[in-house]
Chains A and B, each alone.
Chain A
Amino acid sequence: MTTGLIFACAGAILFTMGVAGVMLLDHLLRRILAFNLMGSGVFLVLVGLAQRAGNPDPVPQAMVITGIVVAVAATALALALARRLFTLSGGYTLPETPDD
């Protein structure tokens, strides 16, 4: 078991926690955080799996740094939308669907 594989396993756990968070939490801010957790997990899996043989691979690392910056932009966008929802509806939760 190399350190790369440990990183990848931690990433898988983080990803699953993020998935559960997105499904379980109602507050939009928490959902956005959970979504970020999913993203961080994916990044850890990408980098960790690529270097599980021992030597780091620059290609997934470059992909991940691209992904991190895009994730920052997506988070800001989600926050802007959440704030817009707050000014329009006064709350940070999505309306319940009737069949729920």
Chain B
Amino acid sequence: MKPLKHLTLILAASAFAALLIAAMFALPPPTVNLAASVAADMDRSGTAHPVTAVLLNFRGYDTLLEIGVLLLALLVVLAVSPREQHAGSAAAEPVLQMLARIAVPLMLLAAGYLLWAGAYRPGGAFQAGAVLGAAAVLLFLAGLLPGWNAPTLRLRWGLAGGFLVFLAVAAALLGQGALLRYPPEAAGALILLIEAALTVSLGLILAGLFLFLS
């Protein structure tokens, strides 16, 4: 009966895809123009790139919850992964190690650039954090960084730091009348502070999701 079931499911999925595509062709043009309202408020946002402005100013709430979700996921990974066994990375090839030693400083530089570039072009905390996390994973795969067993106190502060800084800024600005409404003259500095903290924490969390599991 298995092939028949598969065939039915595949046919149903194809029909579903056709339906979705037909629905998208029939969709009327949007009635609200979000891009225009973002562009209208850009000079009060503290950055010059619309995506960064949406992420950290207009919809900062989402980003705050997002880093919270990441931290939660890491906590659950720590809770379910067994503690005892800890194998260091097996591969210790000299070529890989030398390449990692060359690449990682450049990756740190790229992460710093991406963080800074987020103010006026595509970039920002998430991209920079992803590069940092990838650098840590590369070091681990090359055998230059041991896998993480249990987070030390310093590592815990690093993991939670981005979320805590973001929360502190949000709490300090509650007097503005709404969550995460920055005063326009301080918005740029506050966004840079949050992004820098987020970059470090995101890099550590993304690396931790790999290194605690390894």
Contact A23 B209 (CB under 8 A): no
Of B21, B58, B76, B209, which is within 8 A of A72 by CB? B209
Known A12-B20, A16-B14: A83·B213 in contact at CB below 8 Å: yes
Interface assignment of B120: CB less than 8 Å from any CB of chain A: no
Interface assignment of B6: CB less than 8 Å from any CB of chain A: yes
Of A13, A17, A62, which is within 8 A of B51 by CB? A62
Nearest residue (CB) in B for A74 is: B73
Q: List CB contacts (< 8 Å) of A56-96 with chain B.
A: 56-63, 65-66, 68-70, 72-74, 76-77, 79-81, 83-84, 87
Known A5-B24, A16-B13: A72·B206 in contact at CB below 8 Å: yes
Contact A70 B70 (CB under 8 A): yes
Which A residues are in CB contact (< 8 Å) with B55? Answer: 62, 65-66
Contact B76 A77 (CB under 8 A): yes
A60 to B90, CA, bound (A): 42
Chain B binding surface, main DSSP class: helix
Interface assignment of A53: CB less than 8 Å from any CB of chain B: yes
A97 to B2, CA, bound (A): 15
Interface assignment of A35: CB less than 8 Å from any CB of chain B: no
Interface assignment of A8: CB less than 8 Å from any CB of chain B: yes
Of A55, A73, A77, which is within 8 A of B35 by CB? A55
Interface assignment of B148: CB less than 8 Å from any CB of chain A: no
Interface assignment of B145: CB less than 8 Å from any CB of chain A: no
Contact B54 A58 (CB under 8 A): yes
Contact B77 A77 (CB under 8 A): yes
Which A residues are in CB contact (< 8 Å) with B25? Answer: 5
Of A15, A63, A68, A72, which is within 8 A of B20 by CB? A15
Which A residues are in CB contact (< 8 Å) with B50? Answer: 58
Q: How far is the CB of A83 from chain B (nearest CB, A)?
A: 7
Q: Footprint of A on B, CB under 8 Å?
A: 6, 9-10, 13-14, 16-17, 20-21, 24-25, 27, 29-30, 34-35, 38, 50-51, 53-55, 58-59, 62-63, 66, 69-70, 73-74, 76-77, 80-82, 126, 202, 205-206, 209-210, 213
A-B contact pairs, 19 of them (CB 8 A): A12-B17, A12-B20, A16-B16, A58-B51, A59-B35, A61-B54, A62-B59, A65-B55, A65-B126, A66-B66, A69-B70, A69-B202, A73-B69, A73-B205, A77-B73, A79-B213, A80-B76, A80-B213, A81-B80
Q: What 3 pairs across the A-B complex have the smallest Cβ distances?
A: A58-B50, A73-B73, A76-B209
